[in-house]
Chains A and B, each alone.
Chain A
Amino acid sequence: MSLLTVRDLSVRFRTEDGPVLAVDRADFEVGQGEVVALVGESGCGKSVTALALTGLLAPNATVTGNVDLDGTDLLALPESRLRNIRGRDVAYIFQEPMTSLNPVLTIGRQIGEVLRRHRSMRGRAVARRAAELLELVGIPLPQRRLGEYPHQLSGGMRQRVMIAMAVACLPRLIVADEPTTALDVTIQAGILDVLRHLRDETGTAILLITHDLGVVADVADRVVVMYAGRVVEHSNVDALFAHPSHPYTRGLLDAVPNPARHADGGLREIPGRVPVVREPSDACTFADRCSYADSLCRTQRPLLEPWPGGHPVRCWHPLPARQGALI
């Protein structure tokens, strides 16, 4: 039994330019203590999916489907109940550590806020626990940091504080939305270490949203690939890197800078860009950018099904078979 089960999740936005279908019947699971990476290009619905889980989207969004957290259907809960779940059972870490902390409150106050809110802690206990949390995420001199303001910390330190706030109540699921994108590479490694360490230490599951496949290979157990609002492939991380079945996944992997491939000239790109989907379509949304696409791809919606000997992939012509035929 998975900790988080997402079934048929769709998100529609009403915008001035008409409706936008940001997430189209997404299905995926996150198991207890598992690190699941949600990958895809910018604009393919990763963040929207993550925010939709606990009802954090703007009022112009309509969310349908089923989000089950350990037996509770989150989409059916009223806002007041969701507030109790946010931060306590499901915690978020966002992309922008520089702006995600309140500039006029001390670090101690901000971590304390979460503890007071969800753990009903008061007085000295709050400060003691906050210091423990800072130590847990690898911030030296936690006692002194508690009294400091966000501007006195570097970006990496701030992201650690954000993580400390996220784990303050030992949530069952941490949603990390591109937690390392705004940071430089050495700091990234430190932050990923902290996340891994937390998972081992506290048993929390992590839904890691990223477009950095290096990060995925580094920390994820399983990978869910999204494209234009649809889940197009999911698998455990080794199988995905070894046998990418969807042409899009393959394209993503090929686009990763690799010295071995630099010989034949530069980086490979996927031509075109992510389309804006307005209505659920009967075609494969990747067909326009896919070199393997045929008339079947343009008229029939592929299903997310495991192909013989492989993992689930939403494609009429998954790669291993085709490659086998060609070689």
Chain B
Amino acid sequence: MTVEASTLDIPVAVAPAGMRRRVLRRILRNPLAVTGLVVVCVAALLAIFAQFVAPFPYDQVNFNEPLRPPSGTHWFGTDSFGRDQFSRAVYGLRASVLVGLLSVVFSLTIGVPFGLFAGFYGVLDPVVSRLTDTLLAFPFLVLAVGLAAILGPSLTTAVIAIGVAQIPGVVRVTRSETLRLRGMDFVAAAVAGGAGDAVLLRRHILPNATNALIVQATVAVPGAIIGEAVLSFLGLGVRPPTSSLGIMLADAQTFVRDGPWMAVFPGLTIVVLALALNLLGDGLRDALDPRESRSA
């Protein structure tokens, strides 16, 4: 016993640090994740400070300079009304980021509890699963059109429509994680220690499902951003003259031949943002996995 104790007492090189600090450190060692983080931060800052970053108001029309290619004054060129495309893209980013985040928060808020209960209480499972399937079978655009008819096209409509469309995915991931974790030894051990359902769900199941949920959210945020673009493109989301990356693409389709930059830059912005979010999500997932922290 004493022999074992002394051999096991290996000095640990790393001082015990908080979990968050370790996660951050591990993200910072992953170049791809850092790239994603930087891009996402820049996009977030641009979105927040759009009015200071944009050289022109997003709705300032200038009929003297329609469809100008990118230049020193107009970095992303101008559209058919002579509006500065860079300024519009920056404001558009604001709508995209907002819709992306809010819709994911919305879907997690509703989907996680349902998934937990469905996975934990077998009685509820068939009900929740059938509801989820129904929602999944419901076409996203029909849902969005229906909501827009009731609420009117707006940013809120886009958030709710996209959020609702993402609920089934969240429920499924949470449910399957709950089912998996419910059978784990440490949950059985917690039950044997007198833990009630609330403690099991809150302390043992939900925290262990976090990684899967982060992955799910990582896929969902860029999906939501693209969804916002789709809705705005169809006129169901943000209304013109307010800018959004989707609206810019919608405007661009008439002028693909005369002003291809009108489509290229908003499109690139969406692609880069979605890619960066995915890289960041992968890095976060790796960094949050406590099993790999031996190397930290």
Give me the 10 closest cross-chain CB pairs, A-B, nearest first: A87-B194, A87-B193, A92-B192, A99-B185, A190-B1, A86-B194, A100-B189, A147-B16, A102-B186, A100-B185
Chain B at the A interface: SS class: helix
Task: Say yes or no for B5: interface residue by CB 8 A criterion.
Answer: yes
Q: Are B16 and A85 in contact (CB under 8 A)?
A: no
Chain B contacts to A: CB under 8 angstroms:
1, 3-6, 8-9, 12, 16, 184-186, 188-196, 199, 203-204, 207-208, 210, 290-291, 293-294
Chain A contacts to B: CB under 8 angstroms:
54, 56, 83-88, 91-92, 94, 96, 99-105, 113-114, 117-118, 138-141, 144, 147-149, 151-152, 154, 156-157, 162, 165-166, 186-187, 189-190, 193-194
Report the number of A-B residue pairs with Cβ-Cβ less than 8 Å: 104
Q: Are B291 and A88 in contact (CB under 8 A)?
A: no
Q: Are B193 and A92 in contact (CB under 8 A)?
A: yes
Q: Are B194 and A114 in contact (CB under 8 A)?
A: yes
How far in angstroms is the closest Cβ of chain A from B7?
A: 10
**Chain A residue with Cβ nearest B9:** A140
Given contacts A99-B185, A152-B294, 5 further A-B contacts (CB under 8 A): A86-B192, A87-B193, A87-B194, A105-B207, A139-B5
**B1, B9, B195: which contacts A189 (Cβ < 8 A)?**
B1
Q: Are A100 and B186 in contact (CB under 8 A)?
A: yes
How far in angstroms is the closest Cβ of chain B from A87?
A: 3
**A54, A92, A113, A186: which contacts B199 (Cβ < 8 A)?**
A113
Q: Are B291 and A94 in contact (CB under 8 A)?
A: no
**A56, A113, A114: which contacts B191 (Cβ < 8 A)?**
A56
**B3, B5, B189, B208: which contacts A92 (Cβ < 8 A)?**
B189
Q: Are B193 and A117 in contact (CB under 8 A)?
A: yes
- A118 contacts across to B, CB distance below 8 A: 194
**Chain B residue with Cβ nearest A147:** B16
Q: Can you identify 24 A-B contacts, CB atoms within 8 angstroms?
A: A56-B192, A85-B194, A86-B191, A87-B192, A88-B194, A94-B189, A94-B192, A100-B186, A102-B203, A102-B207, A103-B208, A104-B207, A105-B203, A113-B203, A138-B5, A139-B5, A140-B6, A140-B9, A151-B293, A156-B8, A162-B189, A165-B193, A190-B1, A193-B1
Q: Are A102 and B208 in contact (CB under 8 A)?
A: yes
**Chain A residue with Cβ nearest B291:** A151
- B1 contacts across to A, CB distance below 8 A: 138, 189-190, 193-194
Q: Are B5 and A140 in contact (CB under 8 A)?
A: yes
**B6, B189, B290: which contacts A149 (Cβ < 8 A)?**
B290
Q: Are A94 and B194 in contact (CB under 8 A)?
A: no
> A156-B8, A187-B4 known; A103 and B291 CB under 8 Å?
yes
- A117 contacts across to B, CB distance below 8 A: 193-195, 199
- A186 contacts across to B, CB distance below 8 A: 3-4
- B290 contacts across to A, CB distance below 8 A: 103-104, 149, 151
How far in angstroms is the closest Cβ of chain B from A119?
A: 11
- A85 contacts across to B, CB distance below 8 A: 194
How far in angstroms is the closest Cβ of chain B from A101?
A: 6
**A99, A102, A151, A157: which contacts B294 (Cβ < 8 A)?**
A151
**A102, A139, A140: which contacts B190 (Cβ < 8 A)?**
A102
**Chain A residue with Cβ nearest B205:** A102
Q: How far is the CA of A198 from the CA of B97 in the complex (A)?
A: 58
How far in angstroms is the closest Cβ of chain A from B193?
A: 4
Q: How far is the CA of A152 from the CA of B207 in the complex (A)?
A: 18
How far in angstroms is the closest Cβ of chain A from B26?
A: 14
How far in angstroms is the closest Cβ of chain A from B290?
A: 5
Q: How far is the CA of A193 from the CA of B207 in the complex (A)?
A: 34
Q: How far is the CA of A282 from the CA of B280 in the complex (A)?
A: 67
Q: How far is the CA of A151 from the CA of B189 in the complex (A)?
A: 17
How far in angstroms is the closest Cβ of chain A from B211?
A: 9
**Chain A residue with Cβ nearest B181:** A102
- B196 contacts across to A, CB distance below 8 A: 83
How far in angstroms is the closest Cβ of chain B from A154?
A: 6
**B5, B9, B16, B207: which contacts A148 (Cβ < 8 A)?**
B16
**A88, A149, A194: which contacts B293 (Cβ < 8 A)?**
A149
Specify which of A56, A91, A102, A141 lies most central, judged by the most chain B CB atoms within 10 Å of its CB: A102
How far in angstroms is the closest Cβ of chain B from A18?
A: 22
Q: Are A114 and B193 in contact (CB under 8 A)?
A: yes
Q: Are A141 and B9 in contact (CB under 8 A)?
A: yes
